[in-house]
Structure 1
Amino acid sequence: MTPIVRKATLKDLPVLLLFEQGVIKAERPFDPTIKDGSINYYDISDLITNEDSEVFVIEINKEIVASGYVKIKPDRHYLKHTKQGYLGFMFVKENHRGKQLNQLIINALLEWCKAHHIFEIRLDVYQDNIPAIKAYEKMGFKKHMVNMRLNIENPNN
C-alpha cells in the first residue's frame, strides 16, 4: 500500500477526466459563477504532453488516487521573476483523503519546478475552502493577494 508518485500518461486520461469533474463538484459550492451542467477546466492532454507543464498522479495498488499539475507561465514584466510555476488540479479520491497524498503531489511538482529553474510558485484557492488553505499553508504557501468580485446585475450572487 505504498503510494507511488509518477508522471501521468495519456493512458491515465479517463481517470483524470473523472478527477477533473471531482474538482469541479468540490469547487461549485464556493463559486456561484461556475456554469451549470457539464464543463471542463483543463486541457489535460495538453498538460501531459506540453514541455512547459507536467501532471503527476499517485497510485496505490495500481489505482490512481490523486493528481496535480504544474504549468510554467510567463509572469508580469515588472516582477523580479520572469516565470512562475502555477499549480492546479489538486485532487485526492475521497477514501484516500487525510493521508497526506496532496503533500506528495506538491513535493513532486515543486521538484519538477526546481529542475526547470522555476522558483516562484503560485496557486489559487477559494477563500472559504479552509481545509485546502490549511494544507497549502502546511506546505509553506502564504496568502499573497485577494481577488475580489462584484456582480452588478445581482449583487447577492
Structure 2
Amino acid sequence: MDIFKIRTAVLDDLETLLEFEQGIIAAERPYDPTLRAGRISYYDLGELIKSDDAEVVVVECEGSIVASGYAQIKKAKAYLDHEVYSYLGFMYTHSDYRGKGLNKKVVDALKTWSDSRGISEIRLTVYSDNIGAIKAYEKAGFTNHLIEMRLVGPK
C-alpha cells in the first residue's frame, strides 16, 4: 500500500506551503546571487490555489504535507508552435522524504492535469548548477532545452 497520497491543495494548506516556499528559496540562494537579502516570496500561492488556470498539488503522508508543486497555464510566444503551455513550479519535497519518488508523483499529477486541459507542452526552469534537481527532472522525463545567461556590468 502506498503511504503517499496526492491531492489538490486547498487554502487551509497555506501555512505549510508558505514554509515550503521559504525552503525552496533557502535551497536556491546559493545558486542565485541576484536574490534580494532577507525574506522574499516567489509565488502568490493563494491565488494559484484559487485559479482556474493553475493546479497546486500536495503529497500527504499520514496527514502531513510532505511535497508540493504547481502547473500554471501560460501564453506562449507568438513565434512558437503552441499557443499555451503548462509551467511547473513550487517543486518541493521535505528533506525527510527526499529520494522516495515524490517529485515524480507531483510531476505526473501535473502532467495529467495539463493533459486534461489539452496541453502537451510542459516547461520548468532550474538552476544549471542544481544537479540534484536536474537529475530529478530528467527522471521525470524532462530534457535540457535552454540555458539563460547573464552579464553583470559595472555599478
TM-score interval, normalised by the smaller of the two chains? over 0.9
> How many angstroms does 1:153 deviate by?
2.4
Q: Distance in 2 between matches of 1:139 and 1:64?
A: 21
Q: Distance in 1 between matches of 2:132 and 2:102?
A: 14
Partner of 2:130: 129
> How many angstroms does 1:126 deviate by?
0.2
> How many angstroms does 1:138 deviate by?
1.2
Partner of 2:4: 3
Partner of 1:80: 81
Deviation string, structure 1 residues 24-80 (Cα, Å, up to 9, x no partner): 000000000000001000000011000000100000000000000000000011111
Partner of 1:43: 44
1:1-157 → structure 2 map (5 Å cutoff): 2-153=3-154
Please report the RMSD computed on the Cα atoms of aligned residues, expressed in angstroms.
0.9
Consecutive aligned runs of 4 or more in structure 1 exceeding 2 Å deviation: none
Instruction: Give the TM-score normalised by structure 2.
Output: 0.97
Residue 59 of structure 1 aligns with an amino acid whose one-letter code is E
Instruction: Give the TM-score normalised by structure 1.
Output: 0.96
1:34 match: secondary structure = coil
Residue 150 of structure 1 aligns with an amino acid whose one-letter code is L
Deviation string, structure 1 residues 67-111 (Cα, Å, up to 9, x no partner): 000000000111110001000000000011010101100000000
Q: Distance in 2 between matches of 1:31 and 1:76?
A: 26
> How many angstroms does 1:140 deviate by?
1.2
> How many angstroms does 1:139 deviate by?
1.3
Unaligned runs of 5+ in 1: none
Percentage identity across paired residues of the two chains: 51
Unaligned runs of 5+ in 2: none
Q: Distance in 1 between matches of 2:5 and 2:154?
A: 48
1:5 match: secondary structure = strand
> How many angstroms does 1:150 deviate by?
1.1
Q: Distance in 1 between matches of 2:131 and 2:23?
A: 18
